[in-house]
Chain A
Amino acid sequence: MHSGRTGPVIAACLAVVLGVIVLATFGPLLAPLDPAVQNLASVNAPPSGAHWLGTDALGRDILSRIIVGARTAFVGAFVIAATSFLFGNLLGLLAGYRGGWIDAILMRWVDMMWSIPTLLVLIVFAGIIGAQYWPSVAVLVVLTVPFDLRVVRGATLEQVPRPYVEAAKTLGVPGWRIMLLHIWPNVSASAIANAFLVFADALVVLSGLSFLGLGVPPGTPDWGLMLAENVPLLFVHPVASLAPGALIVLTATSMNLIGDWLQEQLATRGER
């Protein structure tokens, strides 16, 4: 909202996201200690030289668990954002370009999904088939595709009446070529901006599911699960619970700000 000051803020957000990507990729190599090793001699220890962020109720090193936990936080959200980007773009182009019954059916799907509370669907799903991470990710993709679809369809509808599309049609260019090579480059920017917002939402929902004990299996180092597991430690050493929580907020906020910034850039691009 304050365009003059966004530069440093966006740089900081990009740094946060890059940091999380590095942790998610090389986490096990970077962690000072094994995140799964229990040390019952030093349980619930406050931060010290040996354990920078202390230990949890089973004597596991909090810092190492946070570093390794970046992977479950990032990978699930990334898979959801990427998969729903792929399907959302393909179906959105199809709905916007072809129109007709394809559009009608896809838009009913969008209408249906917009009033469905995602997290509750995932809770019910976990209650029926059991708490499993990847099936939950798959369900989340189905619930998220309409978000991308709607954005891409809207942008495509703006492009279809333009002369270059007419020209390509007249030249006999096949429909799939017009959609992917002519129209998509012009709608891709808003789709990419939307992918960041989808990523932030997916991160929050998946951590929430793990927080409830219905996401990753017990014992996994995961930010949402750590936050829940370490709530009883708030009295002795709050960092154990507050640090993973802060990381969830930091990552989600960064992703949201980058997405908003990209959209703003797009909106003002025509004016310059």
Chain B
Amino acid sequence: MGAGDGSAVVWARPRWAIGGASIRAYVARRLVVLAVLLVAVSFAVFCLLYLAPGNPIDMLLGQRPRTPATVSALTRQYNLDKPFFEQYWLWAWRALHLDFGTSIQTSLPVATEIKARLPTSLFLGCYAFGLATMTGIGLGVQAAVRRGTLVDRFVVSAVVIGLSTPVFVSGVGLLYVFAIQLHWLPAFGKGNGFFDELWHLTLPAIALAVPSTAYILKHARAAMLGVLEQDYIVFARARGLSPWRILFSYALRNALIPVVTMCGLVLSSLIVGAVLTEMTFSVQGIGHLLVQSALAKDIAVIQCVSLLVAVSVMATNLLADVLYLLVDPRIRLGRR
């Protein structure tokens, strides 16, 4: 559940990779690991075809009639008459050129399907990420500064509920309140042009951002509380610096370090949450495509989307670790 859905278990970032080595060597090492993982994952994804009950031909045929002509066409297209590892190699080679075969639902190339839906998903993801980080950090810092007040209590209780509320429940709730009762925001549809699209994706983005916001808020508050107790904050107060200066240039900069390291976890939880959000609001994105294909057993699309998701999760984790190095001078300079 690792990344999942407001998971309550927090994983520490692996420390093994961070030694005294420079960032460049570290990134190079991580890229090598990434390449090895990519081969392993792509092999696993390729094997999905053979994991299915029955033989691959039936799976690839879908609802189409089984005639000698269609069977031989599929055998040729997927090289099913070749040895197993050669099949993998040919499949991977074509995948590298973004050729993942054709969807049995639409008979269109899988890459075309993905290309049509990727922008919507990316838009939704960035929107939700922006909402989650801004609200989470903003409210977390506010709650820490006003520790013990009514505001703090309210925020802390909201976090507990937010962390346990799955996207599909908050999505339906938001749909009812803001689209059906209040008519403030559109329930479904895509919209034309940037601002209309933004408007149409607002409800889905809020629903998607809820668990991540709660998660960021919880950690931002805890980090801020820790920093505010430090001696240098007391000293800055004693010197008579303005509260704003203390907050922004002394406290926030240090409190944000642990928060930045959570970005990877937040991004991968957004990737999972996006599937549920897109289904709740009928947003025609990658997640919607994945569930549709799973329901229709559309293997070519499932393979392509799972590879895409695996690559994005791995890239996100790498990015988060590098960001962690860049943001914390103690680690960047090789001292601990």
> Interface on A for B, CB 8 Å cutoff?
1-2, 111, 113-120, 123-124, 126-131, 143-144, 147, 194, 197-198, 200-202, 204-205, 207-208, 211-214, 224, 227-228, 231, 234-235, 238, 241-242, 245-246, 248-249, 252-253, 255-257, 259-260
CB pair B164–A126 under 8 Å, yes or no, is no
Cα–Cα distance between A113 and B173 once the two chains are bound (Å)? 32
Q: Which of B280-295 contact A (CB under 8 A)?
A: 280, 290-291, 293-295
CB pair B294–A117 under 8 Å, yes or no, is no
- Nearest neighbor of B148 in chain A, beta-carbon distance: A2
Closest Cβ of chain A to B86, distance in Å, is 22
Interface segment out of the listed B67-75, B250-258, B270-278, B322-330: B270-278
Q: Can you list 19 A-B pairs with a CB-CB distance of less than 8 A?
A: A115-B313, A118-B1, A119-B4, A119-B276, A124-B306, A127-B293, A129-B52, A130-B297, A144-B1, A201-B7, A204-B5, A214-B291, A227-B168, A227-B169, A231-B172, A234-B180, A238-B180, A252-B165, A253-B160
Q: Which of A117, A126, A197, A253 has the most CB of B within 10 A?
A: A117
CB pair A117–B9 under 8 Å, yes or no, is no
Cα–Cα distance between A115 and B156 once the two chains are bound (Å)? 27
Closest Cβ of chain A to B63, distance in Å, is 15
Other-chain residue from B9, B176, B314 in contact with A115 (beta carbon distance below 8 A): B314
Other-chain residue from A111, A147, A212, A241 in contact with B276 (beta carbon distance below 8 A): A212
Cα–Cα distance between A260 and B10 once the two chains are bound (Å)? 12
Q: Told that A119-B272, A129-B52, A227-B168 touch, could you supply 19 new A-B pairs with CB distance under 8 A?
A: A115-B3, A117-B309, A118-B272, A119-B4, A127-B290, A127-B299, A131-B295, A194-B9, A197-B9, A201-B5, A214-B291, A227-B169, A234-B175, A245-B173, A252-B164, A252-B166, A253-B164, A253-B165, A256-B164
Given contacts A127-B302, A235-B180, A242-B176, contact A118 B51 (CB under 8 A): no
Other-chain residue from A1, A118, A119, A249 in contact with B165 (beta carbon distance below 8 A): A249
| CB-defined contacts of B82 to chain A, threshold 8 Å | none
CB pair B172–A259 under 8 Å, yes or no, is no
CB pair B9–A214 under 8 Å, yes or no, is no
Other-chain residue from A119, A123, A147, A245 in contact with B5 (beta carbon distance below 8 A): A119
Q: Which of B169-212 contact A (CB under 8 A)?
A: 169, 172-173, 175-176, 180
* B18 located at the interface, meaning its Cβ lies under 8 Å from any Cβ of chain A in the complex: no
Q: Looking at chain B, what size class is its interface with the partner chain?
A: 35 or more
Given contacts A120-B272, A201-B1, contact A249 B169 (CB under 8 A): yes
Cα–Cα distance between A245 and B269 once the two chains are bound (Å)? 20
Q: Which of B7-65 contact A (CB under 8 A)?
A: 7-9, 11, 14, 48, 51-53
1/0 per residue, CB under 8 A from A, across B132-172: the answer is: 00000000000000000000010010001101111011001
Cα–Cα distance between A224 and B313 once the two chains are bound (Å)? 26
* B317 located at the interface, meaning its Cβ lies under 8 Å from any Cβ of chain A in the complex: yes
CB pair A2–B3 under 8 Å, yes or no, is no
CB pair B176–A234 under 8 Å, yes or no, is yes
Cα–Cα distance between A118 and B51 once the two chains are bound (Å)? 18
Q: Top 10 A-B pairs ranked by shortest CB distance?
A: A127-B294, A245-B169, A253-B164, A252-B164, A197-B8, A117-B272, A201-B1, A118-B1, A114-B2, A204-B166
Closest Cβ of chain B to A112, distance in Å, is 9
- Nearest neighbor of A259 in chain B, beta-carbon distance: B8
Cα–Cα distance between A212 and B295 once the two chains are bound (Å)? 9
Cα–Cα distance between A242 and B11 once the two chains are bound (Å)? 32
* B103 located at the interface, meaning its Cβ lies under 8 Å from any Cβ of chain A in the complex: no
CB pair B164–A204 under 8 Å, yes or no, is yes
Given contacts A118-B1, A205-B4, A234-B172, contact A128 B156 (CB under 8 A): no
* B95 located at the interface, meaning its Cβ lies under 8 Å from any Cβ of chain A in the complex: no
- Nearest neighbor of B187 in chain A, beta-carbon distance: A234
CB pair B164–A242 under 8 Å, yes or no, is no
| CB-defined contacts of B165 to chain A, threshold 8 Å | 249, 252-253
* B268 located at the interface, meaning its Cβ lies under 8 Å from any Cβ of chain A in the complex: yes
Cα–Cα distance between A245 and B169 once the two chains are bound (Å)? 5
CB pair A205–B268 under 8 Å, yes or no, is no
CB pair B275–A120 under 8 Å, yes or no, is yes
* B279 located at the interface, meaning its Cβ lies under 8 Å from any Cβ of chain A in the complex: yes
Cα–Cα distance between A115 and B166 once the two chains are bound (Å)? 19
CB pair B1–A256 under 8 Å, yes or no, is no
| CB-defined contacts of A260 to chain B, threshold 8 Å | 8
Given contacts A124-B294, A201-B1, contact A211 B276 (CB under 8 A): yes
Cα–Cα distance between A119 and B276 once the two chains are bound (Å)? 10
Closest Cβ of chain A to B117, distance in Å, is 16
| CB-defined contacts of B271 to chain A, threshold 8 Å | 117, 120
CB pair A126–B294 under 8 Å, yes or no, is yes
| CB-defined contacts of B294 to chain A, threshold 8 Å | 123-124, 126-127, 131, 212, 214
Other-chain residue from A201, A227, A248 in contact with B4 (beta carbon distance below 8 A): A201
